[in-house]
Amino acid sequence: MNDVSGNAAKKAGFQAAFKTSGWREVKKNILRSKYLYLMILPTFLYLIIFDYVPMYGAQIAFRDFNPFVGVLQSPWVGFKYFQEFFSSVYFWRLIRNTLVLSVTSIIFAFPAPIILALMINEVRGNLFKKSIQTIVYLSLIHI
């Protein structure tokens, strides 16, 4: 019984010590690693700007959006537009078209880079091979 109360006292002492010095330790660790946090900052900002801010616009799917009054002042309609879409006569045609385009893209676009790589690999002249690789790679960069 004494051992149980001793563990409880140790636990209470640890919690009290963490409350008093825990935040100081965290602050000290942050200050010690401030350059690492500065290196993470651009990635964190990118994540917030391009992943979380656009979620605000997802509300448009559930509102009767009017650009003159804005997103928040547009009336809420819930799943009205989803019900319209799923009960539409065009629903199955749209699903079929989407699947046909996706499968066609996979069939024709997936093997193309592999075939190109195999063809470039068969080129004998090293200078010519590197030139072709550079030209193909530079043509894929979108400015």
pLDDT tens-place string over residues 36-53: 999 999 999 999 999 999
Domain locations in the chain as residue ranges: 88-143
Is a pLDDT exceeding 90 seen at residue 79? yes
What angle separates helix 111-121 from helix 126-140, to the nearest 10 degrees?
160
Query: What DSSP letter does each residue of 32-99 carry, written as one string?
Result: HTHHHHHHHHHHHHHHIIIIIGGGGGGGGGGB--BTTTBTTTSPB-TTHHHHHHHTSTTHHHHHHHHH
- Is the pTM above the cut of 0.85? no
φ and ψ at 63, to 5 degrees?
A: -125, 155
